[in-house]
Structure 1
């Protein structure tokens, strides 16, 4: 299956055709991509699984907020891999200051402080949407966020937003930190669990990818062996616009 054609600007969702990403995750499934009819009705909505490693948190928020308003369903996986600009210590102090915010009269009223990377990212996007209005609630309902890559998304093709990648958005000499470490040091308790599950998933993905490469090579050899016999039939097929 061919990769999606990159589209410029906010309409850009690029497939995982890059070498290092494919070698790391390997597993491909059904490609679900945004179409022009999305957002015009429930039947036109498609779901995009978004691979969220080494991307700029702020830029990704802007793009997702824009897409969800127009009816795009988005699943963000591996939220622990999000990068935040600024050194780690500075971001940790900012988050510890945020943890001290509370209601003096009745703390159970909020604000509620999330520690998991997925919930930190979720709350950041929620702050960019009119989430108390109907259209904001509906837009927020189109977003799913996860640490790691749980089933069934581990068997689907993931997408990436090139315009939000750290290498494209951040100056090489600038400092940054991972949401994984930040969340762990402010109270997230499942860093070890997620890393263990991800290690198992990558082993399975590599095994699947190696098997797929072997099958692809065998298929190409088989095509070459029967090319002379099927040449005249292939010309008829191509005359009708098929490959």
Structure 2
């Protein structure tokens, strides 16, 4: 499915958590480097003798995804630990990865897996309900990234149009060169 040489950046928007985690876990175990971006009752479970020893409930969407992937990898073995070192999970799309092509996993897309009209929830909303405080900051950064991306796209399109026009006028320029222009 993926190539071994480069880092894979997966856009986690509109994906089902478990299905995406299983595909990512399998690729990590096969040696692929993966960067996962855009991840947005559980809290009452605790130990009776010392709650500081766990279980730990992460509030950030990236950590929820990390924990789901870790549960699908034999993380206590050397192979599993090495696989987890190849994984990086972020909220939003940070600067080194915003200019790279982002992939989706079709077998984990919500639109392809869930029946239309079914209820669903997002990790971002769940994280906010359990105490994650940075949803507004991440959305502001995403809006800034989208405006920069749109500006780049507009300039790219105008450059492509001007290049096409120049190629269309290439025979005319050859004739003009004969006359010294």
TM-score by structure 2 length? 0.90
Which of the residues 173, 179, 184 maps onto 2:128?
Answer: 184
Partner of 2:99: 155
Partner of 2:117: 173
SS of the residue corresponding to residue 50 of structure 1 reads strand
Partner of 1:4: none
Please tell me the root mean square deviation across aligned C-alpha atoms, in Å.
1.6
> Measured at CA, do residues 202 and 105 of structure 1 come closer, stay the same or move farther in structure 2, by a change above 3 Å?
same
TM-score by structure 1 length? 0.68
SS of the residue corresponding to residue 46 of structure 2 reads coil
Matched, 1:71 2:13: no
User: Deviations 1:50-100 (Å, cap 9, x if unpaired)?
Assistant: 1111111111111111111110100011112xxxxxxxxxxxxxxx1x211
Partner of 1:62: 22
Partner of 1:99: 43
SS of the residue corresponding to residue 177 of structure 1 reads coil
- Report the Cα offset of residue 229 of structure 1: 8.3
Task: Output aligned runs, 1:63-142, within 5 Å.
Answer: 63-80=23-40, 96=41, 98-142=42-86
Which of the residues 200, 223, 236 maps onto 2:167?
Answer: 223
SS of the residue corresponding to residue 148 of structure 2 reads helix
Aligned equivalents of 2:124 and 2:104: distance in 1? 19
Q: When the two structures are aligned, how many residues end up with a matched partner? A: 174
> Measured at CA, do residues 224 and 124 of structure 1 come closer, stay the same or move farther in structure 2, by a change above 3 Å?
same
Partner of 1:47: 7
- Report the Cα offset of residue 228 of structure 1: 8.4
Unmatched 5+ residue regions in structure 1? 1-10, 12-33, 39-44, 81-95, 231-243
Partner of 1:194: 138
SS of the residue corresponding to residue 79 of structure 1 reads coil
- Report the Cα offset of residue 186 of structure 1: 0.6
Aligned equivalents of 1:217 and 1:71: distance in 2? 41
Aligned equivalents of 2:162 and 2:80: distance in 1? 50
SS of the residue corresponding to residue 35 of structure 2 reads strand
Partner of 2:178: none
Partner of 1:26: none
Aligned equivalents of 1:67 and 1:228: distance in 2? 53
User: Deviations 1:152-189 (Å, cap 9, x if unpaired)?
Assistant: 11122211112211111111121101111110011000
> Measured at CA, do residues 132 and 211 of structure 1 come closer, stay the same or move farther in structure 2, by a change above 3 Å?
same
